[in-house]
Amino acid sequence: MFETITAAPPDPILGLNEAFLKDPRLDKINLTSGVYRDEQGRTPILKTVKKAEEKLLSSETSKGYLGIDGLEEFDQAAARLCLGNDVPASQVAAVQTPGGTGALRVAADFLGTHFGAARVWCSNPTWPNHIGVFQSAGLETKSHPYLSSDKTSLDLAGMLDLIEREGRAGDAICLHACCHNPSGIDPTEQQWSEIAELTAQRGMLPLVDFAYQGFGSGLEEDRVAITQIAKQHSEFLVCSSYSKNFGLYSERVGAMLAVVNSPSIAERVLSQLKQAVRVNYSNPPRHGAAIVATILADAGLRAQWLDELAEMRNRIHKMRSSFVQGMKTTGCSVDFSFLMGQKGMFSFSGLNPMQVDWLRTQKGIYMVGSGRINVAGITQENLPTLCNCVAEALRM
Ligand code: LMR
């Protein structure tokens, strides 16, 4: 049977990470997947996570299954963290999912089952897996402009123009709440309000991917999109991830939140989300969600976690500005100051696929084919090499 199976192409992000790990060069630099790294190039376990784990180790009494919708304390905490006071808790149906990708898949399955004709609009560019997840759930995807032609700013007019002309009632629109992946270019509060207003007028459903809360400007500041959307839409979906802001990548912690019009609709929607989960992975893993719930429920741990989150955010910011400065000192003709307006882990370097390829093969510097770099992969130690090599690539 399997003779006819052909090999799938490597994943455009995680496949590069695999290639990096196999590369024997000692001076290689990994700017691929969106994983935070500290000044030593490590992805640390947060101190608050370790403390929560100690608490759990001594208090946990069972490894029995969680409910289909996961740990109740976690679901409630996730809803509060993402939605703040913008939405009454009784109008939210929440399920714990394996990471943000799991949340996207549950959302896509829910839409596919109940609104099969719905199309999902994605920004061009977007995280490549958005398209994969939506299409494999049977949904049609459409793309709208997002960036100006020089890829250094938002093309809001282009985005709104296409949505106005082609967006249909019942279509979903996948919006990156903050730290747009791959560009790092986010709408302002005013621009979010315009996006929310138009999509509400068109009868479209926002499907908000909230994977980087706290990595942009701050935990609360990064909720600006949610606040603006909640003002215009009484129904929307949020897919959140705790991989980055709690550093819990391998624990796979996420949540899918459906904001609806009434408590009784929330109950019915929850029952359908549970169906989607049951046929997919049955019920979610406990450990990571229990860590998040433990930290958020304890005022002391929560405060310490906010400090750790700020530390990660500040280091990324510092590395972005060091890179911009570093490029200046190489005498390179390209001014990278536009990177300073970008938020979160990613920046769009403007390097073309040939330059990206050359950096990987000749210099052992790995970044995503679109020219996206994970700024958190930059350290004081690898910065000079990185800047010199990028300048050399640009001169070619
Ligand atoms: C990324 O975009 O690098 C991260 O979201 C990791 C992933 O799963 O692709």
Pocket lining: 377 vs ligand 1, CB cutoff 6 Å: no
Pocket lining: 269 vs ligand 1, CB cutoff 6 Å: no
Active-site annotation holds for 127: yes
The reply to whether 324 and 205 lie within a common domain is no
State which of 246, 279, 297 marks the end of a domain.
297
The reply to whether 176 and 229 lie within a common domain is yes
Domain housing 264: 65-297
CB contact set of 332 (below 8 Å; sequence gap of 6+): 387, 390, 391, 394, 395
pLDDT tens digits along 58-71:
999 999 999 999 99
**Residue 241 within a domain:** yes
Q: Which amino acid is at 297?
A: A
Q: How confident is the model at residue 116 (pLDDT cuts 50, 70, 90)?
A: confident
The reply to whether 286 and 249 lie within a common domain is yes
**Residue 55 within a domain:** no
Beta bridge partners of 119: 140
C-alpha–C-alpha distance, residues 371 and 387, integer Å = 14
Ligand 1: centre distance to CA 255 (Å): 17
The reply to whether 156 and 249 lie within a common domain is yes
The reply to whether 290 and 340 lie within a common domain is no
pLDDT score at 313: 97
Mean pLDDT, range 204-214, rounded to an integer = 98
Q: How confident is the model at residue 248 (pLDDT cuts 50, 70, 90)?
A: very high
- The answer to whether 182 touches 199, Cβ cutoff 8 Å, is no
With helix as H, strand as E and coil as C, how does the chain read?
CHHHCCCCCCCCCHHHHHHHHHCCCCCCEEECCCCCCCCCCCCCCCHHHHHHHHHHHHHCCCCCCCCCCCCHHHHHHHHHHHHCCCCCHHHEEEEEECHHHHHHHHHHHHHHHHCCCCEEEEEECCCHHHHHHHHHCCCEEEEEECECCCCCCECHHHHHHHHHHHCCCCCEEEEECCCCCCCCCCCCHHHHHHHHHHHHHCCCEEEEEECCCCCCCCCCHHHHHHHHHHHHCCCEEEEEECCCCCCCHHHCCEEEEEECCCHHHHHHHHHHHHHHHHCCCCCCCCHHHHHHHHHHHCHHHHHHHHHHHHHHHHHHHHHHHHHHHHHHHCCCCCCHHHHHHCCCCEEECCCCHHHHHHHHHHHCEEECCCCEEEHHHCCCCCHHHHHHHHHHHHHC
Q: Which atom of ligand 1 is nearest to the CA of 101?
A: 8
Pocket lining: 34 vs ligand 1, CB cutoff 6 Å: yes
C-alpha–C-alpha distance, residues 163 and 165, integer Å = 5
Active-site annotation holds for 318: no
Mean pLDDT, range 15-26, rounded to an integer = 94
**Residue 159 within a domain:** yes
State which of 297, 314, 339 marks the end of a domain.
297
| The model's pTM | 0.96
The reply to whether 274 and 334 lie within a common domain is no
**Residue 52 within a domain:** no
- The answer to whether 121 touches 174, Cβ cutoff 8 Å, is yes
Ligand 1: centre distance to CA 370 (Å): 13
The reply to whether 128 and 261 lie within a common domain is yes
**Residue 54 within a domain:** no
Q: Which of 75, 192, 244, 343 is catalytic?
A: 244
pLDDT tens digits along 25-57:
999 999 999 999 999 999 999 999 999 999 999
The reply to whether 78 and 204 lie within a common domain is yes
Q: How confident is the model at residue 183 (pLDDT cuts 50, 70, 90)?
A: very high
pLDDT tens digits along 256-314:
999 999 999 999 999 999 999 999 999 999 999 999 999 999 999 999 999 999 999 99
CATH number at residue 334: 3.90.1150.10
Given a cut of 90, is residue 396 above it in pLDDT? no
pLDDT score at 168: 96
**Residue 191 within a domain:** yes
Which tokens hold the place of 342? 């970008």
Q: Which of 75, 109, 127, 363 is catalytic?
A: 127
C-alpha–C-alpha distance, residues 16 and 13, integer Å = 5
CATH number at residue 211: 3.40.640.10
pLDDT tens digits along 343-374:
999 998 889 999 999 999 999 999 998 899 99
pLDDT score at 375: 95
State which of 297, 327, 361 marks the end of a domain.
297
The count of structural domains within the chain is 2
Mean pLDDT, range 86-108, rounded to an integer = 98
**Residue 6 within a domain:** no
| Residue 385 burial by Cβ neighbours in a 10 Å radius (0-12, 13-18, 19+) | middle
Mean pLDDT, range 189-194, rounded to an integer = 98
The reply to whether 339 and 376 lie within a common domain is yes
Pocket lining: 126 vs ligand 1, CB cutoff 6 Å: no
Active-site annotation holds for 305: no
The reply to whether 86 and 214 lie within a common domain is yes
pLDDT tens digits along 299-323:
999 999 999 999 999 999 999 999 9
The reply to whether 17 and 80 lie within a common domain is no
The reply to whether 246 and 99 lie within a common domain is yes
**Residue 238 within a domain:** yes
